[in-house]
Amino acid sequence: MKQNAAFGSLFKNIMIVMEVLLCVTALLLLVFRHSVAGFETEATKETQITEEAEEPAVESAEEYLQEDEPLAGSDTEADTEADIEAETETDAVTETETETDTDIRTSQETLQEQSMEEQEELLRMKKAEEMKADWRLFLTNKNHYIPTDYEPELVAFTGRHRVDERITEDLQEMIDAAKEDGVRLQIVSAYRDFNRQKRLYEKKVRAYKRKGMTFEEASMEAAKTVAAPGTSEHQLGLALDIVGSSHSALTESFADTKAGIWLASHSYEYGFILRYPKGKEEITGIIFEPWHFRYVGKDYAKEITEQGLTLEEYLKENGVN
């Protein structure tokens, strides 16, 4: 019994010691855990501080981005992106405004230039239309036939000749002016109707055929000196063959006579042009005829003569024909 009691007392003491050890262990665990938790908090704080310290570097990068072109898909914060976009838009607006100002000025200048050009073109077209409709500039040559129903209002002039009545005043003025200068002008031919022109032309063709030419060759050669019927200015009543009292033949040498020189120098002052000048045979299709004068009116005659043009060239330059 005594041994059992001793054993029981020992067992009880061991149990107490064990309990105490457990308690101490538990306490140590608690303390350790607390220490670990505290360490972790410090570590987190330190990480946060490090991150905070790095922020300015990110901002600097963003500022760099703002100054430079924004990169597509950059990892900047939403706010910063918005700022960049806003600033970029502002820049874009400013640029657009500047461009718009330039555009407006440029377009205004362009409009003015276009308007000037259009106005000039309109004036040219208007002048061309007026010239086209002007009886004084009626063009006839081997390419421009006179309509068969063309009938000028004719009046007798110096007896047997007839001319378009609208030219008589200027014609008379020219004859009088020449007379004052000691030159007696003589009209050889004025208005000729279609049939008269046809007879003259056919007579010329026969003459060339007698020289051995074919009909085609003779016709072409005749047309250089006698306009084919339907293409003669005499048929308009606006053309005159004029010579001087000392030289009545229709030859090139008439150009060197007193009357020939006077007409070449002064006819335009009265509205008449030397219609088939020397050196322009290819354009007019007619040989040099220093005796053939065509009425176009004083203004046109002055321009055509001063510019050294044929009627064909003058009309072409002004957009007619």
Q: Which residue is nearest to Zn ion (CB)?
A: 292
Q: How far is the CB of 115 from Zn ion (least distance, A)?
A: 46
Q: Which stretch binds Zn ion (CB under 5 A): 43-51, 214-222, 238-246, 294-302?
A: 238-246
Q: Is 130 a catalytic residue?
A: no
Measured in Å, how far apart are the chain's first and last C-alpha atoms? Answer: 157
307-318: buried (b, 16+ CB within 10 Å) or exposed (e) per residue? eebbbbebbeeb
| Shortest distance (Å) from residue 233 CB to Zn ion | 7
Residues 144-183 that bind Zn ion (CB under 5 A): none
Q: At what angle do helices 78-133 and 2-67 cross, to 10 degrees?
A: 20
Q: Of the listed pieces 146-154, 177-185, 233-241, 262-270, which binds Zn ion according to CB under 5 A?
A: 233-241
Q: Which is nearer to Zn ion, 58 or 250 (CB)?
A: 250
- Determine if 292 is a binding residue for Zn ion (CB under 5 A): yes
Q: Which phi and psi angles does 282 have, rounded to 5°?
A: -65, -30
- The piece of 23-31, 54-62, 162-170, 289-297 that touches Zn ion (CB under 5 A) is 289-297
What is the C-alpha separation between 300 and 273, in angstroms, rounded?
9
Region binding Zn ion by CB under 5 A among candidate stretches 54-62, 105-113, 291-299, 309-317: 291-299
Among residues 62, 233, 289, 312, which one is catalytic?
A: 289
Q: Would you mind telling me the total number of residues written for the chain in this entry? A: 321
Instruction: Give least dist CB 189 to Zn ion, A.
Output: 6
Give the interface size with Zn ion as a residue count (CB under 5 A).
Answer: 2
Distance CA 116, CA 123 (A): 10
**Two tokens at 183?**
């030159």
Site for Zn ion contains 241 (CB under 5 A): yes
Give the gyration radius of the chain's Cα atoms: 56
Binding status of residue 247 toward Zn ion by CB under 5 A: no
Q: How far is the CB of 194 from Zn ion (least distance, A)?
A: 15
- Cα dist. 131→77, 137, 230, 277, 309 in Å? 77, 7, 21, 22, 16
Give contact residues for Zn ion (rule: CB under 5 A): 241, 292
Q: Which residues are catalytic?
A: 289
